[in-house]
Every structure is written in structure tokens, then in C-alpha cells.
Structure 1
């Protein structure tokens, strides 16, 4: 296993054309294994191993946790297709590709045939695959508050219990740049009012701002990941 991580590497480069890097990029899988195999605040080490049957696996006295990769930034190309057509290509932020800053792991096993977290956040209209909104749901899960993803997150309560608090979850997965500690709130990519505002921006200007916020988060998290390895 390599001990080096290139935060500029685009996982589409070692994935067959048209296929999903979350499933098929060997570099992404290895980077996840390196980054998230580390000590929890409980003193236990969250060691990840590769398996033929699951993407990554942690198995210890803490439990058995099959894990999968998921992209945590989305350009909303399908949901915002009509608005994207109104925006000149030169006005769009640059596509930085799929780097490690835009990837995370979630439990990958289905519980009672229900959707995984990846599936639930992708299909829920009030989340629309946005990770800022997903992280707000995770924050509420730790508080015991309801959210659009309550049922999905509760199915994997044992996974979130590995992290003693929301703040530990954020720090463990190096998500600090999406959390405003002074204001104690998520740094949302788009206007947010208790899940009553549309998850998909409705105007070209709002969509450009949303995309720029995504890019800034990816860049900041990549820098944070690089620093964590020094």
C-alpha cells in the first residue's frame, strides 16, 4: 500500500470510461483505506481492510462495518439541466474533477432491504445528493432531532456511534471546512431555511454561486487532507 496521497489525482483517470470511480477506481479505494484507518477518540483503531465481497471493511470488537465510497459534491447536472443550459460555459467554475477532497465513506450494506445513506440522500428531493444538507442531517442525528434523512441515518446508528459526537465525526473525516464553529452551523452551499428552501438552485446566479461553493470546499478539504499527512 502506498503511503503517499496525491490530492490532485482525478479518480476518473484510473476508472474505465463511463464507469463510476466510487466503485472501480483502485486509487480511490486505497486512499480511503489510508486516510480513515486511524484512531477513534475511544482509543480503538478504525482499521479498514479490502475485501472481495465489500468495498472496504472494518471488523473488530466494535462491530462489523462494510463501507462504500461516495462523492460528496454534486454539480446537479441532471436536476439543474435547464438552468445549466442558460449559463455560458465561460461563466461556470472550472470542473476540478473527482479528487479525494470530494469523497467519503458511508456504510455500504442494506438494512432490511431499505436504501443506504448514499441512496437515500441521492433520491430525497429535499437533499438532492447535496453533502452540505446531508451533513446537517447527520448533525441533527447526533442531537436526536428529526431531518429528511432520519430513518436512513438511524438504520446505521451503530456506525455513527463509533464517533462520540458530531464534532468528532467532522474532525475524523476532515470536514471542518464545512462547519462554522463560531456560529455552530453548517456552511451551506446554497440558501438554507430548515429544509424549506429548494435543494436545487432555481436561477443561473444561484447555481453559479452553489457550484463555486462546492469548488471552494473541495479545494479546502484537499489542503486539509494534505496537511493531515505531514
Structure 2
């Protein structure tokens, strides 16, 4: 496994009760620092370190980037509550906890008092906090494709995405290959997708169970990919 990163570790286990692991798990912060302090596609180093009033920060001639942590998979239990309430617990795929495969960093400082990426993707009903849909928006940001429900917020943080040069660079840097087809440009969606015209939240039990299975498969695959890193 990547030195110092245990992909079986559940970040809730070292988080105070009732608190958010993205803010309060010291292990999650250390794992982010270990995983993402590395070379960018340009060859420049992207070293991260804790700073006062910043979760993790990078400072270099490239600029100053203050990052926050966020889970990139959601079980949609509240948003799909009408479906979930009719499903017996034994039918739901087992949840492995909040592990490294489900964690990512994003720019964490508001610009012009507007939403961050984390806030926007959770607030936007077209995205519903789903990372597969967020990644499609990021792909479209790099290619300047429309429609893009997150176009405004991604443009506000364009300097961050420029660090990775293109969509492939972003995917490879953050070990997201298991959410992209072999063509490098088609997202492996967790739920049927038709150019943001389809509902982001599954409407039937079968759709919801399929969503959970595909989401869990991604977490498992990404954890394996993290483990394989030198």
C-alpha cells in the first residue's frame, strides 16, 4: 500500500461523535497529505501541509491553494428516502465506511463569498452531491462543453484545475481512472445519464440498489489503486 495510507481505515473511527470526518479526522488529513503531495503533470511538486485556518495548503511559484476534504460518494439516503424506506436492510449492499477510496480534496476557500465546489455540487439538484456527475462537469470544464451545471463554480477555481493541464491529467493525479471508460472521456455513471436531463436521484428500488452497487465498486477499485501506488 501507499506508505502510511491504510485504505481499510474508516475515518469515522477517529472522529469525535457527531462531527464530520472531513474536518475532524486527523488520519484523513494525513492521508490526503501523503497521497496528493507529488508531481503535477508539469513536473512541478504539489506539496501539501496544514496551515492555520486551512485544512491543507500548497504554496509555491505556482500559487497558493487552500484545500478542503470531501467524500466523493454518497448513499443518497435522505434524497432517496422514499425509495430507501421501502427497502429491507438486508437488501442494501454493505457499506465499508468512509475510506480513502471515497475521499478527495477541492479548493476550500470561497471566492467573492460564493459557493465552493463542495457546496455547489451538494446544493445543485442536477448534481445532488454525486461525484460521477461532478466529474462529468469537470470533464466539460476542461473541454468547454455545455451544458455544465457547475460551470460557474469550476470557472472560479480555474487556476486549480489548470495545475493538471487537462481532464486526463486531473483523473490520473487523483487516481480516478476507475470512474472513466478506457476512451478516457466517458464517465462510468452510477445511474442512467442523458446529458443532465435525467434525475440525479434514483426513483425506484432497482435503480437505487444499482446505484449503491456501482458506487461501492468504485470505492473498492479506487482503494486498490491507492494500495498499488509506490
- TM bin, normalised by shorter chain, reads over 0.9
Contact 2:168 2:184 survives alignment (8 Å):
no
Whether 1:156 and 2:157 are equivalent positions in the alignment is yes
In structure 2, the CA distance between the partners of 1:205 and 1:149, relative to structure 1 (3 Å rule), is same
| Equivalent position of 1:96 in the other structure | 96
Q: CA deviation at 1:184?
A: 3.2
Whether 1:171 and 2:176 are equivalent positions in the alignment is no
| Equivalent position of 2:18 in the other structure | 18
Whether 1:9 and 2:9 are equivalent positions in the alignment is yes
Report Cα offsets for 1:81-104 as digits up to 9, x if no partner.
111011111110001100000000
Counterpart mapping for 1:133-212 below 5 A: 133-146=133-146, 147-182=148-183, 184-212=185-213
| Equivalent position of 2:131 in the other structure | 131
Q: Secondary structure at the match of 1:112?
A: coil
Distance 1:205 1:3 in 2: 39
| Equivalent position of 2:215 in the other structure | 214
Report Cα offsets for 1:9-54 as digits up to 9, x if no partner.
0000000011100000000000000000000111110000111210
Number of residue pairs the alignment of both structures matches: 228
Q: Give the TM-score taking structure 2 as reference length.
A: 0.97
Report Cα offsets for 1:41-89 as digits up to 9, x if no partner.
1111000011121000001100000000000000011101111011111
Q: Which runs of 5+ in 1 are unaligned?
A: none
Q: Secondary structure at the match of 1:64?
A: strand
Distance 2:185 2:36 in 1: 25
Q: Give the TM-score taking structure 1 as reference length.
A: 0.97
Distance 2:25 2:116 in 1: 21
Distance 1:32 1:82 in 2: 35
Which segments of structure 1 move beyond 6 Å, counting only runs of 4 or more?
Answer: none
How big is the alpha-carbon RMSD for the aligned residues of Structure 1 and Structure 2? 1.1
- Of stretches 183-192 and 135-144 in structure 1, the one that deviates more from structure 2 is 183-192
| Equivalent position of 1:50 in the other structure | 50
